[in-house]
Amino acid sequence: MLRYISKRLLYILMTLFLIVTVTFFLMRAAPGGPFSSEKQVPPEIEKNLNEFYGLDRPWYNQYFDYLVSIAKWDFGPSFKYKGQTVNDLINEGFPVSFFLGMESLLLAISIGVLLGIIAALNHNKWQDYTAMVLAVLGISVPSFIMASILQYFLAIKLGLFPVARWESLQHTVLPALALAATPMAFIARLTRSSMLEVLSNDYIRTAKAKGLSRGQITVKHAVRNALLPVVTYLGPLSAQILTGSFVIEKIFGIPGLGSHFVTSISNRDYTTIMGVTVFYSILLLVAVLLVDIAYGFIDPRIKLAGGKKGE
């Protein structure tokens, strides 16, 4: 296991190097510059700004300096947020985005797995059809449309929740639901199909023949094996929730990292764009690694196979 983790950490470093490199050169290839705007900046001031931030230096010097800064966990100054660095923006916005993401993740997993189990245990009955209709709706409706629907009905019409802002736990409900709707639907369909496959195995029939109750068979034998595909999906799900939060945070006026990222794109704040991209890439790669490790603990056969393969 240690050898496997060490190998994966090496792959993560290589992937991060490629991401940093591609992000740096994409920003250089983008038209305009960080100080290009509708209001024309005098050439003398723009020259002084480029010199101050080192943008007048050769590209290879800028690239090497950026690699060194990333290695020191220094993403540089923000071009648009005066007096703040990209690290300050991450430290300020990430806790908000993390809380929203974790709330959405818990909602998606708990409700999605529950709907999938209910649908599988009541195959071809009204419970199954109802759960799958909800899943299809969750997959079909984009998160920003779902956010608008929730705001209109639950906030404006019924007045159950605030329309926007981030001031209390009540303000987190609607954005978390909007963000969790699509992954919740995927998890429900995934759990249902996996449960149906597990319930048709011979050891489930043996458990029934031994006189075990339906609840014991479901909890002790079926659910654990049925959750393996769901655990595999947690890696891409983390990326989906992180990237989906960009739009959701903007719609609900949430001061998270996603909102800073969207604003930095419109403001041509290149250091913030690159810093947030690298930061989210690190989160995604670590999340995938943790999912792979958890997968081995859930199914010992996979852990043994990984160990033999690593040896």
pLDDT of residue 300: 60
pLDDT score recorded for residue 305: 45
Question: Which residues, including other chains, have CB under 8 Å from residue 83's CB and lie 6 or more apart?
Answer: none
What is the model's pLDDT at position 155?
92
Closest CA to 248 of 136, 137, 99: 99
pLDDT at 311: 41
Predicted local distance difference test score (pLDDT) of residue 19:
92
User: Residue 252: inside a domain, yes or no?
Assistant: yes
pLDDT of residue 307: 47
Helices 143-150 and 228-252 cross at an angle (nearest 10°) of: 60
Is there a domain that residue 38 lies in?
no
The CATH code of the domain that includes 258 is: 1.10.3720.10
In a domain, 83, yes or no: no
pLDDT computed for residue 301 by the predictor: 59
Give me the pLDDT at residue 218, please.
Answer: 81
Please give the pLDDT value at position 303.
52
Structurally, the chain folds into a number of domains equal to 1
**Alpha carbon separation from 80 to 75, 111, 134, 272 (Å, rounded):** 14, 41, 43, 9
Q: Where are the alpha helices (DSSP H) in 122-227?
A: 126-140, 143-150, 173-199, 202-209, 214-216, 223-226
Rounded to 5 degrees, what are φ and ψ at 141? -90, 120
Domain enclosing residue 169, as ranges:
92-298
Predicted pLDDT of residue 149 = 93
Residue 148's pLDDT is 92
pLDDT values of the chain reduced to their tens digit, one per residue, 311 residues: 778 788 888 999 999 999 999 988 988 887 766 776 656 667 777 778 778 778 788 888 989 999 999 999 999 888 888 788 999 999 998 889 889 988 999 999 999 999 999 999 898 899 999 999 999 998 899 888 999 999 999 999 998 999 888 888 899 999 999 999 999 999 999 999 999 988 888 888 888 888 887 777 887 778 878 888 888 787 777 776 776 678 898 889 888 888 888 888 877 788 898 998 899 888 888 888 887 777 767 666 555 444 444 44
Q: How far is CA 84 from CA 31, 177, 183, 272, in A?
A: 25, 32, 35, 10
pTM, full prediction: 0.81
